[in-house]
Amino acid sequence: MKDYHMWIGGAPCEAASGARFTSTNPYTREEWARFPRASADDVDHAVRSAHAAFTDGDWPTWTASARGAALVRLAALVTEHADRLAEIEVRDNGKLFAEMSNQARYMANWYAYYGGLADKVEGLVPPIDKPGVLNMVTYEPLGVCALITPWNSPLLLLAWKLAPALAAGNTVVIKPSEYTSASTLELMALVEEAGIPAGVVNVVTGFGDEAGMPLVTHPLVRKVAFTGGEAAGRAINEAAARDFKKVTLELGGKSPNIVFDDADLDAAVPGAISGIFAASGQTCIAGSRLLLHDGIYDAFLERLLEMTRAAKLGDPMEADTNISPVATEAQHRKILDYIEIAKAEGATCVLGGKAASPGGAPGYFVEPTIFTDVRNDMRIAQEEVFGPVLSIMPFSDEDEAVAIANDVLYGLAAGVWTNDLHRALSMSRRLQAGTIWVNTYRSTSYTTPFGGYKLSGLGRENGSQAIMEYLQPKSVWLAEPRAVANPFIRR
């Protein structure tokens, strides 16, 4: 059992109460690490430390170039330690080592990209409509930012927030998921090694209600960046609104993956699989509703079943494993419940549908599961399962595909498989989602915005504009002294 400490003011720290909680390896079901269980007192300590680092000390004196250089150093350190960080994440969330190590290396790009961007945020000198006045617009950091992350990709989703927050000159308090706190705490040694001053980055560990909400509502926190579920997102948005805090929310999805009869099925079949069975379906962008054109329905389904049956369930650390356990016992139960709900609603389970135990492994495995005879008004077609469960629906033309695809509360992403350029363009325009993939699926990049329409979120992460989510404009007026004609009339 490994004991971790929180990270506050550049030093390891216990919870004031001395309480701890544990993390369980989803593959072995064994507890492997203990973490301090933070309460409002610990959150207050961390926020005050972040606030002190924002107002005093070295950090506010750093130029944007110096902040950028530190982030570029952090990028190099993350790359150097990628496999170690990935292995820790696998122990916490059970995802494939192959995916997590790839992700850890790719994540370094966020620190390098926003490091490069730090000194390229240029202000404005608007041509002001008053004589003898120079007006300058500068962009200033917000202050202390609360960064709250989920368990499915802890470090990657943290990088989407931490890199622009620091590039912009803010200080932060991070609250990682109670299921996956270890990798974020390990990252703190690299933050320190990169030369980022003590107190600029702080981590509290604990639960949503005990640590997350006190962080959101702390009066010294000026911005909340959150990735997680809709329920927590709504609670956070409501609480932050009371004190007019800025918020970015990356929430769930029920994304359609739409295959037309002119698509290249050699690409589309693996595309459908990567949409729902990669990461055991535990991604916000899961293509959990597969819409198949009537003309290819039977042929596609046959190939999909064949390829999915060949997927190997097993140890996430083994290179030839395709599907690993889901992250938590609660998630395991929730997915199996949704499978029963789908059956009760009248959907037909054509593959999977049960818990699994490959080679007798005790982990939280769920068989890759495929439902046909799904209607779009069923719960299995409307609600986020966050597991390896696919709902298939037929369609006969573009209008019907668009109608089904858009008829959900979410709008995070959508996939379209077609070789018709006009159709690709018109579908991209008509689908209500923040990301549209044509002839690919599940791609994200630091260079392009990511976020949701409708209940999938608020604001955008990634891309050059995302740094503006961590800045506020200030308008500065420099006037030549002049006699004031009438002080009671606005100039």
Residues that bind ligand NAD (CB under 6 A): 148-152, 157, 175-178, 207-209, 212-213, 216, 227-229, 232, 235-236, 250-252, 284, 384, 386, 412, 457
Q: Which residues contact 76 (CB under 8 A, 6 or more apart)?
A: 108
**Which long-range contacts (C-beta less than 8 Å, at least 24 apart) are formed by 121-127?**
121/64, 121/168, 121/467, 121/471
* Displacement of CA 409 from its chain's centroid (Å): 19
- Residue closer to ligand NAD (CB basis): 250 or 315: 250
Angle at 397 between CA 395 and CA 399, to 5 degrees: 100
Using CB atoms, what's the residue nearest to ligand NAD?
Answer: 212
DSSP string, 82-93: HHHHHHHHHHHH
* C-alpha–C-alpha distance, residues 334 and 315, integer Å: 22
Residue 12's closest CA among 4, 21, 1, 20?
4
Which one, 141 or 457, has the nearer CB to ligand NAD?
457
H helix and E strand count, the chain? 14, 24
- Between CA 439 and CA 416 the distance in angstroms is 6
- Least separation in angstroms between residue 134's CB and ligand NAD is 42
Task: Compute the least distance from the CB of residue 252 to ligand NAD, in Å.
Answer: 3
Minimum distance from CB of 231 to ligand NAD (Å)? 7
State the catalytic residue, choosing from 250, 384, 461, 469. Answer: 250
Cα–Cα dist 333/329, whole Å: 6
Cβ proximity to ligand NAD: between 205 and 369 the closer is 205
CB of 243 to ligand NAD, least distance (A): 14
Distance of closest approach, residue 320 Cβ to ligand NAD, in angstroms? 26
334 versus 430: smaller Cβ distance to ligand NAD: 334
Spatial contact of 255 and 410, defined as CB atoms under 8 Å apart: yes
Q: How far is the CB of 346 from ligand NAD (least distance, A)?
A: 26
> C-beta of 148: minimal distance to ligand NAD in Å?
5
Structure token pair of residue 317 = 């650390």
> What contacts 120, CB < 8 A, 6 or more positions away?
none
CB nearer to ligand NAD: pick between 419 and 447: 447
CB atoms within 10 A of CB 126: 11
By beta-carbon proximity to ligand NAD, the closer residue of 224 and 292 is 224
Q: In terms of CB distance, is 164 or 252 closer to ligand NAD? A: 252
Minimum distance from residue 446 beta carbon to ligand NAD (Å): 14
Is residue 317 classed exposed, middle or buried when 0-12, 13-18 and 19+ CB atoms within 10 A define those classes? middle
To which residue do tokens 């007192």 refer? 41
H or E segment to which residue 471 belongs: strand 471-479
**400 in catalytic set:** no
State the CB neighbour count (10 A cutoff) for residue 455: 20
Name the token pair of 104.
């850890």
| Residue closer to ligand NAD (CB basis): 193 or 383 | 383
Sign of the CA dihedral 279, 285, 286, 291? negative
Q: Which residues are tagged catalytic?
A: 250
